Amino acid sequence: MKMPSASAHAAVTQSGTWVGYAGTARIALALVLVAAAVGVAYAGARLRRPLRPAQPGRTARFAILVTWVFAIAAFLVCLTIYAKQARQEHLLHAVPANNVAPVTAICVVAIFIVVLLIGRSQSQGVMLASAAIAAMAAPMIFEFPFDVIVMARTYPAIAPDPALYRALFFVPLFLVEATTLSLLAFSPMVKVSRATVFSFAAMLAVFAAWGLTGFAYPSAPVPYAFNVLSKILAFVTALCLFLPQRAQAGTPDPAASPSSAVTSATVV
């Protein structure tokens, strides 16, 4: 029986836009992600009450917005250079089908609508801005750790310096992701709760299971399921940032009326 050639094996493992993990690299990736998931879950268990991030002042807001716009522009420029070099090296082929894109689009629309409904008690400007920020930031909760995992394994490698062209693509992309996430601080609705942290830990746990199977491109049912599930959990994480928090039982209400205090003192 004729054994498959090395080139045929490479064609299988390099289907999609990144090379999957195998052997000890697959196990190491899964262990790192499990440790990260456990650490995040432990932090969530120790979170006694929701944390509200400090809202930036006018100057800080302006700086963040300028950096965000600059990052998007820089990424588009670098993407053009990357694509041009790939075309010159005859490496720019048809992009594999992205079957997860419809799921992402549905989740973006859903979180925008849900945050609009949650924010009805806010002013119209805050409500609309919060919904837009949630819709933009939610995919980045997935993309940031995902890009860290696949960055060094993107395919095809662009000659003459694959590492340089990977940096050209990913450095501005990471800046876009980080600045988009920083927009969350603009919304007065945002609070980091246990549900937020646990949802993110669950997403990392799904990443770990995906990594244990090789973190392959989602062209087969198993990696597709892991990709969809982890992306949905990223949107759940973002949504939990905007959910109103119930007052804890037995917690004194600081807004209690003075008359109530006077009545209590009189009874005593």
pLDDT of residue 17: 85
**182's tokens:** 């920083």
97 or 29, higher pLDDT:
29
CA distance 139 to 136: 7
Q: For the chain, how many structural domains are there in total? A: 1
pLDDT of residue 94: 59
In a domain, 1, yes or no: no
pLDDT of residue 246: 66
A 10 A CB-CB count for 145 gives 17
Residue 21 and residue 29 in contact, taking contact as beta carbons nearer than 8 Å: yes
How much is the average pLDDT of 119-125?
Answer: 91
Ranges of beta strands (E only) in 52-93 are none
Instruction: Give, as one character, the DSSP assignment of residue 81.
Output: H
Residue 227's domain spans which residues? Answer: 18-244
pLDDT of residue 95: 64
In a domain, 46, yes or no: yes
Flag whether pLDDT at 33 surpasses 90: yes
How much is the average pLDDT of 222-227?
Answer: 96
Residue written as token pair 């992309």: 173
CA distances from 180 to 20, 66, 116, 168, 244 (A): 28, 11, 19, 19, 22
Mean pLDDT in the chain? 86
In a domain, 264, yes or no: no
In a domain, 80, yes or no: yes
What is the tens place of the pLDDT at every residue in 152-204?
998 888 889 999 999 999 999 999 999 999 999 999 999 999 999 999 999 99
If we measure between CA atoms, which residue out of 149, 138, 118 comes closest to residue 180? 138
In a domain, 260, yes or no: no
87 or 98, higher pLDDT:
87
89 or 266, higher pLDDT:
89
In a domain, 3, yes or no: no
Flag whether pLDDT at 63 surpasses 80: yes
What is the tens place of the pLDDT at every residue in 137-160?
999 999 999 999 999 998 888 889
CA distance 88 to 6: 26
Q: pTM here?
A: 0.83
pLDDT of residue 69: 97
Flag whether pLDDT at 123 surpasses 80: yes
pLDDT band at 98 (very low <50, low <70, confident <90, very high): confident
Flag whether pLDDT at 253 surpasses 80: no
In a domain, 142, yes or no: yes
How much is the average pLDDT of 44-53?
Answer: 92
What is the tens place of the pLDDT at every residue in 1-17?
444 443 333 433 455 78
